């Protein structure tokens, strides 16, 4: 009888949409855990936010997305690819966010491959882990909040100096990687001011690369070689079409 009552309660909660596994303010996202790679095709310095936005339609952005699809296919991983704008206190650049279920070694391989392809100084990844000391925050802004410069300024004002902004047709998504778990209070304040829903996930992240572009390429080469030695089949041409989205 108790089990039957619990089942009925579960169904009622599910229908009403209040079961706690769905997005709740500031709670750990209990949906299937996702890994993230942040990589840009940009090699220029001191871009303005307007130039970064224009770069989302550039040939280099299109080439990077095509390469991201290919490496995901070779890894046999279904991923979502989003065009994005990397924004920080004194600059911006056109970029991408890749999300999907990947192990740490595959994540590092994909990030290193793409960093090398795009001649980047560094790429950033974040991998979910219950023991991770870092956090990734995802803010979902209301549909009418589409002023990217205004969003960046508000986040800056709340003490969030690095953010990745994904402008979509019907909403804006903001990713903030907090490697040292220092930003929760500031995220909460920013979300309140932006009237945004937000989620937080535990994990570990790292920049792969180096401030020196040539040294970064060598670091990527070592990561790639180590993975391909262990999994040589990853070098084979991709024959599987996997879902991806811009």
- Phi and psi angles of residue 242, each rounded to the nearest 5 degrees, phi first: -110, 155
Q: Is residue 3 part of a domain?
A: no
Q: Residue 53's domain spans which residues?
A: 33-235
Q: What is the pTM of this model?
A: 0.84
Q: DSSP assignment of 158-214, as one string?
A: TT--EEEEEE-SS-EEEEEEETTS--HHHHHHHHHHHT-EEEEEEEEEEEEE-SSHH
Q: Is residue 135 part of a domain?
A: yes
The Cα–Cα gap between 184 and 4 comes to 40
Q: Is residue 151 part of a domain?
A: yes
Q: Is residue 24 part of a domain?
A: no
User: What does the pLDDT profile of the chain (246 residues) look like in tens digits?
Assistant: 434 443 433 333 333 333 222 222 333 443 568 999 999 999 999 899 999 999 999 999 999 999 999 999 999 999 999 999 999 998 999 999 999 999 999 999 999 999 999 999 999 999 999 999 999 999 999 887 889 999 999 999 999 999 999 998 888 999 999 999 999 999 999 999 999 999 999 999 999 999 999 999 999 999 999 999 999 999 998 865 544 444
Q: Is residue 7 part of a domain?
A: no
Q: Is residue 22 part of a domain?
A: no
CB-CB contact of 147 with 225 (8 Å): no
Q: Is residue 246 part of a domain?
A: no
Q: Is residue 25 part of a domain?
A: no
Give how many domains the chain has, as a whole number. Answer: 1
């Amino acid at each position: 009888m108790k089990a039957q009552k619990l089942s009925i309660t579960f169904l009622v909660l599910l229908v009403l949409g209040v079961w706690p596994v769905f997005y709740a303010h500031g709670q750990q996202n209990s949906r299937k855990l996702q890994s993230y790679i942040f990589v840009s095709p940009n090699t220029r310095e001191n871009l303005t936010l307007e130039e970064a936005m224009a770069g989302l339609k550039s040939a280099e952005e299109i080439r990077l997305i095509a390469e991201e699809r290919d490496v995901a296919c070779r890894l046999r991983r279904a991923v979502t690819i989003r065009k994005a704008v990397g924004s920080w206190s004194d600059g911006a650049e056109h970029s991408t966010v890749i999300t999907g279920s990947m192990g740490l070694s595959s994540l590092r391989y994909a990030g290193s491959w793409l960093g090398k392809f795009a001649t980047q100084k560094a790429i950033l990844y974040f991998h979910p882990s219950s023991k991770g000391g870092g956090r990734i925050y995802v803010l979902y802004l209301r549909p009418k909040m589409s002023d990217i410069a205004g969003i960046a300024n508000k986040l800056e004002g709340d003490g969030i100096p690095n953010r990745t902004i994904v402008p979509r047709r019907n909403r804006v998504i903001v990713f903030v990687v907090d490697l040292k778990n220092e930003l929760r209070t500031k995220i909460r304040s920013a979300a309140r001011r932006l009237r945004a829903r937000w989620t937080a996930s535990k994990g570990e992240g790292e920049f792969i690369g180096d401030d020196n572009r040539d040294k970064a390429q060598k670091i990527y080469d070592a990561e790639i070689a180590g993975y391909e030695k262990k999994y040589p089949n990853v070098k084979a041409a991709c024959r599987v079409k996997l879902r991806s989205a811009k």
